[in-house]
Amino acid sequence: MNDVSEVRKLGELRLTIPNGLHKKLKLIALEKESSLKQLIIDVLEGYTQNTQKQQKEETLSK
């Protein structure tokens, strides 16, 4: 488990968001039985994947 290749490297991102949005996101995370942190990671990963897919489609259609 201490193998360097297995160590997950993490970056840090600090966010300041409006209280109303924070409460909504916390409720969504609770419904999904997830943490707020994991919910935000999932949203950002999904956005990144969709953006990359869209860029590939635009490139192929040219």
User: pLDDT by residue (tens digit) across 2-59?
Assistant: 455 556 677 888 989 999 999 999 999 999 999 999 999 999 999 999 999 888 888 8
pLDDT-based confidence at residue 1 (cuts at 50, 70, 90): very low
**pTM of the prediction?**
0.69
Give me the residue spans of the domains in the chain. Answer: 35-62
Alpha carbons 58 and 50: distance in angstroms, whole number: 12
Residue 21: both structure tokens together: 């949005």
